[in-house]
Amino acid sequence: MVRSCKEIEMLVNLINISYCAMKILPYQNEHFSEYRTKSVQEFRFELSQGIRSQIFFATFVKNIETHIKSNAMTKAFKQLIHQQVYYL
């Protein structure tokens, strides 16, 4: 929450820095050159879409890896229990 004059100034400065970074990035990185003529809002939306999709795929892959590992562990435990039953 912003309650003091100093906090408001800091928030405004952060907003200004963010805006400037969004305006400069298309000129600094050729990957984003198509956004030179677009508004900051359009560029921010495209960046956020890209970040969201990367987070989704990273989480998806992580969950798949965890699921595969848990299946392997379950299978190993079942084999161990199966072997223990035969030894008794």
Per the structure, the count of domains in the chain is 2
User: Is residue 4 domain-shared with residue 46, that is, in the same domain?
Assistant: no
**Whether residues 53 and 88 fall in one domain:** yes
| pTM, to two decimals | 0.53
How do residues 4-62 score in pLDDT, each as one tens digit? Answer: 888 889 999 999 999 999 899 999 989 889 989 999 889 989 888 888 888 887 787 77
Are 24 and 63 in a shared domain?
no
29 phi/psi in degrees, rounded to 5 = -125, 120
Which residue is it, tokens 């190993």?
76
Range of the domain at 30: 1-37
The answer on 64 and 24 residing in a single domain is no
Question: Can you give the C-alpha Rg of the chain in angstroms?
Answer: 25
Axis crossing angle, helix 5-28 with helix 40-87, rounded to the nearest 10: 90
Q: Indicate whether 48 and 65 sit together in one domain.
A: yes
